[in-house]
């Protein structure tokens, strides 16, 4: 399983005298903790391409059909479908199928998904403080 954190980097971390409440440091050695780390699990999910932009557009637009999401995000239909399924599996997205001809499917955020709005607000405030030339 690939991780966003390289084990070589973990060896050099001095965590003995620091409190990491956002990390599950229940083991003596952080290398033994990485598989169970709740933050790492979140990073593994949200680190997937297009996942955060999907959440962002659903926060802004509230409800969208698949093709509308695809228009806003880009990417391949297969990848966007995979990301939407992952978000649905984790309880962040509702998928509503309307029995019409042709069939209509709409996506929206669950309450759990809507709770991520605070994180996007924090990202926005943090980005304002960046000193970049981009």
Question: For the residues of 65-77, what is the DSSP string, one character each?
Answer: EHHHHHHHH-S-H
Structure tokens at 107: 């996506």
CA distance 117 to 51: 14
> What is the side-by-side strand order in the sheet with 63-65?
63-65, 104-109, 93-98
pTM for the whole structure: 0.70
Domains located in the chain, CATH noted: 7-44 (no CATH), 49-128 (1.10.10.10)
The residues pairing with 63 across neighbouring beta strands, listed in sequence order, are 108
CA distance 115 to 92: 9
Q: Provide the pLDDT for residue 30.
A: 59
**Looking up tokens 């806003």, which residue turns up?**
72
Low pLDDT (below 70) residues in the chain: 1-38, 40, 131-134
Q: Provide the pLDDT for residue 99.
A: 92
DSSP H or E run through 79:
helix 77-89
């Amino acid at each position: 399983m690939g991780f966003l954190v390289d084990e070589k980097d973990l060896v050099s971390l001095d965590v003995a005298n620091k409190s990491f409440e956002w990390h599950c440091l229940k083991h003596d050695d952080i290398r033994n903790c990485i598989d169970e780390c709740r933050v790492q699990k979140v990073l593994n999910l949200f680190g997937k391409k297009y996942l955060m932009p999907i959440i962002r557009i659903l926060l802004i637009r509230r409800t969208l059909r698949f093709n509308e999401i695809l228009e806003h995000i880009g990417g391949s239909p297969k990848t966007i479908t995979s990301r939407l399924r992952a978000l649905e599996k984790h309880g962040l997205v509702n998928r509503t199928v309307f029995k019409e001809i042709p069939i209509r499917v709409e996506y929206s955020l669950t309450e759990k998904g809507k709770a991520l709005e605070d994180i996007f607000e924090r990202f926005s405030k943090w980005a304002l403080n960046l000193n970049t030339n981009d």
